Structure formats: structure tokens, C-alpha cells
């Protein structure tokens, strides 16, 4: 039986957020943003351990109390220059902490997606655990898409047919993901690396709640979603 692990890359600086504090630590529903993804992943029974990849220079993690997650959470201080580097370094470091088999599943989830729900996570695992390749949560593109020129004028309208927005978690087997990330540059998600090997990851239909907090205005929306969920 393949085991399931989660890995949260959290070594970014949040430059588009424009705050000195890295965005994963910004306050959201009375907790640092990263707390919410950690909690959702640690609560999932199938997931054996949750690895979190911090920047070697991180000075913020230890300012918070993580003791409620002691049984599952393992901190790795090996973040790299890009998200892909952080994930790849994390995969190598995770292997030296625990035995992870080539076929075990790794669910890579952005620290900046605090509104992942347990039901979406469960759906991803259910739909992919027998899959040959693996895949990711994603949503079909809803808006009309414009391609611009250098003067912010429309060059043409892109068809949105068959277009999806990639989210996380992205779920691949340990050996495949390590190989894929070793072989690629200039990618912004794990699936792109797997695609570059000629494989076709599966898109698992998600919802807009699992968006990535990127710009300052995204914080208020994430806060609303988390607070509403708490009262349900
Ligand atoms: N990430 C990482 N290591 C990096 C860059 C990003 O672990 N060198 C992580 C971020 O911490 C985040 C996830 O990858 O959890 C998605 O990245 P993104 O939303 O782009 O976060 P940042 O890179 O921090 O933000 P920005 O691009 O605005 O600087
Ligand atoms: Mg980034």
C-alpha cells in the first residue's frame, strides 16, 4: 500500500503582497496564514506526515505555537530560490527524516492557499490514489481571456475552451516528482514538471475557494471564507 505525505513549500517572501513579513505569516482569522493549510492537511487521516519547507533564513516560524501538530508536522529548513527548488530540496530532506518509498504519494500544497477544504482534499485523494500519473485540483476558467500587447491593448481574445486554472495540492508519486523536478527549469507548479516528462496529470475539479492569496486584497476574501466556514 502506498503511503500519503504532504509537503508545504513555505520559503517564499511574498513580494507581490508588498509586506515585510513573508505572506505565509500574515495574520488571517487570528492565526498566521500558513496555520490553516497545516491544520487541514494534518487533520486528514490518510496523510501520515506533513513536511513544511521553510527558508533557511526564516525567523518567524518559531514565534508561533505549533504544538497541536507535533504528531504529524516535520519542519525542514531547506527552502530554495524558487518554489520548484524548495519542493525538490524538501523531497530530499524528507527522505532523510523518514522512509518514503518510490511509489508513496506526495501532496504538494502552497502555504498561500489557506482555504483548502477537507472535502476537496478528500476528493483529490479519492480520485487519484489509483491513478498511474497523479494530478491536481483545478478549476475551469470562467472569465473571457485577452492577450495583450506591450501597450496594454488587446492583441486578441483567447478561447477559454478546455482551459483550467491549476491549484494545489498537486499529488504525485515520490520518485516521479523528484525526477520531474530535477529535469526542469522555469516552472511554477509541480504538474508542469511532470508534463515535461510527456505524462498527462489528471485535473480534479475544485472550486474558487481554494485560491492563492497573492495580493493584499486577497487577504480579506480569505478571511471571510475561513470565518464563514467556522460558523457552519
Ligand atoms: N515558495 C517557496 N520557495 C520559494 C518561492 C515560493 O517555498 N523560493 C512557496 C511560497 O512560500 C508559497 C508557494 O511557494 O507557499 C507559492 O508561491 P507564491 O504564491 O508565488 O509565493 P511567494 O513566492 O512567496 O510570493 P511572490 O511570488 O509574490 O513573491
Ligand atoms: Mg512566487
Is residue 231 scored above 90 in pLDDT?
A: no
Helix ranges (H only) for 45-198 are 83-97, 118-128, 174-182, 190-195
Whole-prediction pTM: 0.97
Is residue 148 scored above 90 in pLDDT?
A: yes
Collect all residues with Cβ–Cβ distance below 8 Å to 51 and sequence separation of at least 6: 5, 6, 7, 8, 74, 75, 76, 90, 93, 94, 97
User: What is the structure's pLDDT at 156?
Assistant: 97
Q: Which ligand is nearest to the CA of 22?
A: 1
Cα(72)–Cα(165) distance, integer angstroms: 30
Collect all residues with Cβ–Cβ distance below 8 Å to 227 and sequence separation of at least 6: 29
Is residue 161 scored above 90 in pLDDT?
A: yes
- In terms of Cβ atoms closer than 10 Å to its own Cβ (0-12, 13-18, 19+), residue 94 is buried
Residue pointed to by grid coordinates 472569465: 143
Atom index in ligand 1 nearest the CA of residue 80 equals 8
- Ligand 2: distance of its center to the CA of 14 in Å? 7
Collect all residues with Cβ–Cβ distance below 8 Å to 50 and sequence separation of at least 6: 5, 6, 7, 8, 38, 41, 42, 69, 72, 73, 74
- Ligand 1: distance of its center to the CA of 119 in Å? 25
Q: pLDDT tens digit string along 83-135?
A: 999 999 999 999 999 999 999 999 999 999 999 999 999 999 999 999 999 99
Mutate to test the pocket of ligand 1, among 15, 55, 83, 170 (most ligand atoms within 8 A of CB): 83
Cα(30)–Cα(33) distance, integer angstroms: 9
- Ligand 2: distance of its center to the CA of 171 in Å? 20
Mutate to test the pocket of ligand 1, among 11, 12, 76 (most ligand atoms within 8 A of CB): 12
Amino acid at each position: 500500500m502506498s503511503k500519503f505525505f504532504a509537503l508545504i513549500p513555505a520559503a517564499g517572501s511574498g513580494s507581490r503582497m508588498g509586506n515585510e513579513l513573508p505572506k505565509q505569516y500574515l495574520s488571517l482569522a487570528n492565526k498566521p496564514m500558513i496555520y490553516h493549510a497545516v491544520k487541514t492537511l494534518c487533520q486528514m487521516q490518510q496523510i501520515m506526515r506533513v513536511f513544511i519547507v521553510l527558508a533557511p533564513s526564516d525567523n518567524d516560524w518559531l514565534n508561533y505555537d505549533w504544538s497541536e501538530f507535533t504528531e504529524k508536522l516535520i519542519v525542514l529548513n531547506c527552502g530554495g530560490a524558487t518554489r520548484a527548488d524548495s519542493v525538490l530540496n524538501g523531497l530530499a530532506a524528507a527522505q532523510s527524516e523518514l522512509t518514503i518509498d518510490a511509489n508513496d504519494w506526495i501532496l504538494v500544497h502552497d502555504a498561500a492557499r489557506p482555504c483548502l477544504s477537507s472535502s476537496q482534499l478528500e476528493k483529490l485523494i479519492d480520485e487519484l490514489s489509483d491513478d498511474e500519473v497523479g494530478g491536481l485540483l483545478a478549476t475551469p476558467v470562467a472569465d473571457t481571456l485577452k492577450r495583450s500587447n506591450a501597450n496594454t491593448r488587446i492583441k486578441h481574445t483567447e478561447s477559454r475552451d478546455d482551459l483550467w486554472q491549476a491549484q494545489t495540492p498537486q499529488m504525485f508519486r515520490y520518485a516521479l516528482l523528484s525526477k520531474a523536478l530535477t529535469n526542469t527549469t522555469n516552472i511554477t507548479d509541480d504538474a508542469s514538471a511532470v508534463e515535461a516528462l510527456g505524462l498527462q496529470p489528471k485535473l480534479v475539479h475544485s472550486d474558487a475557494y481554494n485560491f492563492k492569496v497573492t495580493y493584499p486584497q486577497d487577504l480579506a476574501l480569505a478571511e471571510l471564507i475561513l470565518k464563514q466556514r467556522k460558523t457552519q
